[in-house]
A and B are shown apart, each in its own frame.
Chain A
Amino acid sequence: MAEGHPPAPGPVEADRADPIFAENLTKRFGNFTAVDRVSFRIHPGEVFGWLGPNGAGKTTTIRILLGLIRPTEGRLGVLGFDPVSQTKAMQAQVGYMSQLFTLYNDLTAIENIRFYGRVYGLGREQLVRRQQEIIQMAGLEGREDTLTANLSGGWKQRLALGCAIVHNPRVVFLDEPTAGVDPISRREFWGLIYAMAKKGTTILVTTHYMDEAELCQRVGFINQGRLAAVGTPDELKQTRMRGQVLEIETPEPDRAMRILKEAQARKSLPLEEVALYGAQIHVVVPGAEEYRHPLQELLADANIPVGNLEWIVPTLEDVFISTIRETADEE
């Protein structure tokens, strides 16, 4: 397909069932392929996490879905619209909140909501009703007339979400919405995300907090423009982790660490990763049962007492890092 060739014509009826889909989505900037044959579907009312290292293609994908940049190749649809040819009609039903919370600091909370309401072309009555709903949803009662500049991080973040959904969109894109916000506010924010999903809104969210990724119903790992894995957090933990994590407890973690790093360097044991976690050490080995004993022996030979040596369920972060390394190794 020639560079800049428009994607296939508008999505067919069958694609309307899934509010967001992409098939072989590709975006090249000159010689650089930012998004490389990515295919996925997001179901109605789903909270889908989009994860990847910086520069992996997360934001580019979102911008294509929002109709802000044109894909080089592939088919895609948002709410039955083609974001390339039906941009305006689609955008009227889509909300977007970026990490930068594009709020006007010199306007009050309610003025920001009204401003966005007018941008989205809400009528007067509709706006009056909607602004009340949003103030309530964001827990901003009593702060309607506070200058946005004087709101704390958590309030600002919820106000930004309110502004992004003032037009009652059926699909919402959230690009790192919780960066720099305290844990309590993050919890409240995720409560809002699930309240929206429950009403049928479909949500695509990117985050660097792996514990938040655990909250998504399904997640996609993207690396170097390619989709490395898609599934529920539990599925990915069961199927995508290369090796198993053993947690070693010892009164001498620093010395044990040195011995293990040495074994890793000599390749006398296949240790994918050796990392200090406070008083414990996490070791990634091909099989927990198989390598428990050799590890115990190695440490015993160095006179290092070992307390517990347990297989632990990997975190989504463990799985993510393992998947990214695997795709990097295949390069």
Chain B
Amino acid sequence: MRQVSRSNTKAFEELYTRYARRMQGFFIRMLGYDIAKAEDFTQELFLKVYESRGAYEEGRTFSSWAFSMAYNLCKNEYRHRDVVEIHEQELNYNSDVTEEPAFEKVYDRAVFENQLSISLSKLPADQLAAFTLRYSEELSVQEIARVLDCPEGTVKSRLHYALRSLSQSLSMYNPVKP
């Protein structure tokens, strides 16, 4: 990042190669599996990284800095377009279909994965962010607290609520391991 702040294009390319996929994966989950939008947001995020390369605090990991910017982009998106509401409406429609699955399908792993992604999308944005950063990106609670700009206790309670609501919504699905 020090090299990037000196307008080194090669260093920036290296940074992009390392982190673009991670960031895109985060956006895919946070924006309700909208791939095109996730691609746009990844591009926008790295544009912002390049523009604000001078404001980077040394000593802080790049991933936590980039994730905090990514989370802010998502929050803006929720605020401006009410993505959550629209997505919830779509999910309600989908959940009607999978509410009472056939007996043999209950044990299908694919159905479980589908239901899990639906349940994840139903989580509030702050809980989903905490869940993704903790269990998918494997960041520490301290780092997540920095990314989400909240105390560590809040992160823990968000994780707790997210896990509880996921276990409740997926209690009737029992996948068979492949």
Q: Do A and B bind each other?
A: no
Interface residues of A (CB under 8 A from B): none
Q: Which residues of B contact A (CB under 8 A)?
A: none
